[in-house]
Structure 1
């Protein structure tokens, strides 16, 4: 009888520790989302998807990292002068500091600057990457999930 009570007590004490160990071994959630269209509906859908992913994992008590990569016509999402979603980008970045990255393709930026004959500023919440397509490839090679709206 003492053995059974001892095992039951050990299970009660170790149960929470075992679940912590499982959480620590859990694969991280990481999602890369592509934006390659100059379409406010697509841009809003991407931001909605990002928000829903964040809320889903917050509800489960889990972290998720997101990276939204814009290139080609989708660069308008991250241009300071043409972004129809700049306020939403700022809000989302503030909502989950350090958990979401906005990446702007430098190849596209340079092409736009050449075509328009002036410098292009990006929203302050974004970072410039050498190539949007290459960035998406690298994230996938690192095990990130990939979403294209």
Structure 2
């Protein structure tokens, strides 16, 4: 009789393990928007560190995460081809994840304002995606249930 209970306990434990791993795999993807509004290399590196840590955390749990790093105001320098102190890291981070899992959003309002002030067109890093307004983009992501971080 003791062997029967032992086998039942093992079957129950295996069922619980299957349920917990399948529910993790079936969970909805996580979404995080990270704001960059300062022309400060330390802040930009902190944002990239945060994104890398989030990617690794969920990769280790076999869960999906979508990240949108939104640069506007002075923070747009993060995504400017001529002034970004972190463009190599931006490319490495983009290459580290599956396509579509990370986006670098550049505020078009800020870009146009900088172009007007500097009297020339501004090129962005190849991995940047232009959004009409960085602030509106952040607001809309939050309305869709995205988590929001400002380092």
TM-score tier by shorter-chain length is 0.7 to 0.9
CA contact (8 A) 2:27 2:63 kept: no
Shift of 1:142: 0.7
Task: Return 5+ residue gaps in structure 2 as ranges.
Answer: none
Q: Which moved more, 1:114-123 or 1:16-25?
A: 16-25
Distance in 2 (alpha carbons) for counterparts of 1:111 and 1:43: 21
Runs of 4+ in structure 1 displaced over 6 angstroms? 3-10
Shift of 1:56: 1.2
1:121 counterpart residue number: 123
Q: What TM-score, normalized to structure 1? A: 0.88
1:47 counterpart residue number: 48
Q: What TM-score, normalized to structure 2? A: 0.87
Q: Residue 124 and residue 146 in structure 1: after superposition, are their counterparts in 2 closer, same or farther (change >3 A)?
A: same
Report how many residues are paired. 149
RMSD between superposed Cα atoms in Å: 2.1
Distance in 2 (alpha carbons) for counterparts of 1:66 and 1:25: 19
CA contact (8 A) 2:25 2:63 kept: no
1:143 aligns with 2:132: no
Task: Return 5+ residue gaps in structure 1 as ranges.
Answer: none
